[in-house]
Structure 1
Amino acid sequence: MSLSGWICVVTGASRGIGKGIALQLSEAGATVYITGRQEKTLKETATQVNERGGKCVPVICDSTRDDDIENLFERIKQEQRGRLDLLVNNAYAGVQAIFENQDKKFWESDPSMWDTMNNAGLRSHYICSVYASRMMVARGQGLIVNISSMGGLRYLFNVPYGVGKAACDRMAVDMAMELRSRGVASVSLWPGPVKTELITQMVLADDAPEEADSEYKDIFANGETTEFSGLCIVNLAKDKNLMSLSGKILMTCDLARRYGIQDIDGRGIVDFTTLKFLLTQVPYVSWLSSFVPSFIRMPRFLLPLLSNHF
């Protein structure tokens, strides 16, 4: 119960990664406000939290509606006497659109794709962070986590997706600059491939649509559970050196190594930055991976250099 007494918010927690994060935070003793648009799925998450002995407050909140977001944080302010320890910006509404438009270029898709990818995502993350920061700064402590992905560094899925994730990363870094002196930390978290309910249905299931790319199946077959990101956040939240990590983009595989944790099903986490893994992705030399130790990793400073266009 390392987070006993903590007040947390997880947006988009009715399923997927958000649900997994809420379950892990509640297991650690936190009171978790979870948001989503569908009352039924929110209550299902709340029921699972309660079954594990956790505390959960489901709030119907459309992350594309500014009034809903403002009302959410006003409610927390009133009910918790101004206390908020952790915000996880996870709400996202673009996964279905990714699969529906996976063979289209940006000019072939409807321009509304931008809003689909970035309203319930980048824009709502910023608005939530504004209201959360006001409460955290007043108390001189807190943590904001943006759920992002490798799409913030390299092309992935489509143009609006990558732009949105890159902006989420930059937002976390820049917020940290302004929050550091107030005792509040801000980070961006990159999960690896995650076997969410939708990914299982659209990619991994035997009856998955024919257009599901075989490359996706290979990537997600050994993916993380939806709760592993939550386990990482629990350990991050209680890290005594948290402020030294503020303003950074963190990967779940790095946090697994930092805290010595495995996925909740006992599997180790695939480290996509090891030389061993990277060699398996290169045709004709993949056989060399069997001779390379798993502890040799790509230096982090090389990641942005690989995508540097200056």
Structure 2
Amino acid sequence: MVHLAGKVCIVTGATRGIGRGIALQLAESGAKVYITGRTLEPRKGSSLGGSLRETASEAEARGGTCVPIQCDHTSEKDVERLFEIVKNENDGQLDILVNNAYAAINAIFSSLGTSFYEFPPTLWDDTNNVGLRNHYICSVYAARLMVPRKKGLIVNVSSVGGLQYLFNVPYGIGKDACDRMAADCGAELRKHNVAFVSLWPGPVATENVIDTIQTNIESGRNDDREVPKGYADKDMLPTFKICETTEFAGKCIAGLGSDPNIMAMSGKVVTTFDLGRKYKLQDAHGHVPIDMCSLKFALQHSGHTWLASITPSFIQVPKWLMWLSANRFY
């Protein structure tokens, strides 16, 4: 069902992974979607693929419209040019911005199991320049278009790493700040009827994740200093292949973009599972992805696989208990 017809969107970092999936779903829902990334044309010899042209071609094959804009999100001039193009081509209209661009995958995997003080301080920039910093800059330019029109939605793609330790120190700080950005920007934008949310996808079977697991299996690596627990385990491959696809987050954002009560969620963290349940969504394989707030998920990812196997998936860990587990007050 086309329910974003006439809307103008920007999805940053849409050459592959979650960004590509979000762009495809927004375009399929009827929106005109501007997509950004560093790679405009298909790369020869790349097993993972990933270019703006490929994403745009797939969107068009589904009957949607994607406009590729090559953009280096470390460059504020490139970002400013992106928003000028969108403004000029659409009479100042921008309805949805999805802050997804992220360039830290290699930095994350290279630093796993190593303490922050053992790496150069530049690990911070590698992790958060195209991410936290760029999300803020894009949000500034987006708000300048949305506020005069008194409507719009900004989404930061974040993760549970903003609540508890995950991967490395700069990663957690960056994701926590993305959540706080949604809260604080949402507070200032509320009077202008512009919503800002932070989206937590669950485990997602991106091309990079699947490729990393497969590579680690083939190389026989299972060292916690090299890969996360379970990422070199052959049993994890089928698990990731049946979790969220890269397009489920896109279905959720399409739902947010057409929700008449979106302001009730502004400033909040929302999960893909909760949005899927709210909007009655199914993933590409016809299943509902696992709830990362479920007891089953918590047991599985804390190493209690046997207990997880006999625990019903509908038993949830209350969100207030999750927040208390990260309580920072003495």
TM-score by length of 1: 0.94
Note if contact 1:10-1:35 (Cα within 8 Å) is conserved in structure 2.
yes
Question: Deviation of residue 138 (structure 1)?
Answer: 0.7
**CA offset at residue 282 of structure 1?**
5.8
Note the C-alpha offset of 1:208.
Answer: 6.1
Counterpart of 1:53, as a letter, is G
Q: How far is 1:295 from its partner?
A: 3.1
C-alpha distance in structure 1 between counterparts of 2:165 and 2:81, whole Å: 36
Paired with 1:240 and 1:58, the residues of 2 have a C-alpha distance of 29
Measured in 1, the distance between the counterparts of 2:17 and 2:308 equals 36
CA shift for structure 1 position 39: 1.2
Structure 1 residue 267, shift from structure 2 partner: 2.0
Residue identity opposite 1:300 in structure 2: K
Query: Could you tell me how far apart the structure 1 residues matched to 2:89 and 2:306 are?
Result: 56
Task: Determine the structure 2 residue equivalent to 1:301.
Answer: 320
Residues 254 and 114 (structure 1), Cα distance of their counterparts in 2 relative to 1, 3 Å cut:
same
Counterpart in the other structure of 1:273: 293
- Deviation, 1:38, is 1.1
CA contact (8 A) 1:175 1:186 kept: yes
Question: Aligned runs of 1:285-296 on 2, under 5 Å?
Answer: 286-287=306-307, 290=310, 293-296=312-315
Which ranges in structure 1 are unaligned for 5 or more consecutive residues? none
Q: Residues 172, 208 of structure 1: CA spacing in aligned structure 2 closer, same or farther, 3 A cutoff?
A: farther
Deviation at 1:89, TM superposition (A): 0.2
- State the SS of the aligned residue for 2:34: strand
3-state DSSP of counterpart to 1:68? helix
Percent identical across equivalent pairs? 53
Q: CA deviation at 1:223?
A: 2.7
Equivalent pairs, count: 309
- CA gap of 1:208–1:191, structure 2 versus 1, over 3 A, is farther
Q: Which residue of 2 aligns with 1:249?
A: 269
Q: In the alignment, what sits opposite 1:186?
A: 196
Q: Secondary structure at the match of 1:304?
A: helix
Does 1:135 pair with 2:135?
Answer: no
Q: What do residues 38-70 of structure 1 show as CA deviations (whole Å, max 9, x unaligned)?
A: 111111111111111111110011111000001
2:230 matches 1:215: yes
Q: Determine the structure 2 residue equivalent to 1:13.
A: 14
Q: CA deviation at 1:75?
A: 0.9
Moved more, 60-69 or 278-287: 278-287
> Which of 125, 129, 149 is 1:119 aligned to?
129
Residue in 2 that maps onto 1:150: 160
**Most deviating of 198-207 and 38-47:** 198-207
1:264 matches 2:279: no
Q: Distance in 1 between matches of 2:174 and 2:53?
A: 29
Is residue 35–residue 58 contact of structure 1 (8 Å, CA) maintained in 2?
yes
Give the AA of the match of 2:314.
Answer: F
Matches within 5 A, 1:11-160: 11-40=12-41, 41-160=51-170
TM-score (norm 2): 0.89
Aligned-partner SS, 1:233: helix
1:284, CA displacement in angstroms? 6.8
Q: Which amino acid aligns with 1:34?
A: I
For 2:46, the equivalent position in structure 1 comes to none
Using a 3 Å threshold, how does the CA distance of structure 1 residues 85 and 283 change in structure 2: closer, same or farther?
closer
1:202–1:208 CA contact under 8 A, matched in 2: no
Residue ranges of structure 2 left out of the alignment (5+ in a row): 42-50
Whole-Å separation in 1 of the counterparts to 2:220 and 2:267: 39
DSSP 3-state at the match of 1:131: helix
User: Helix, strand or coil for the counterpart of 2:93?
Assistant: coil
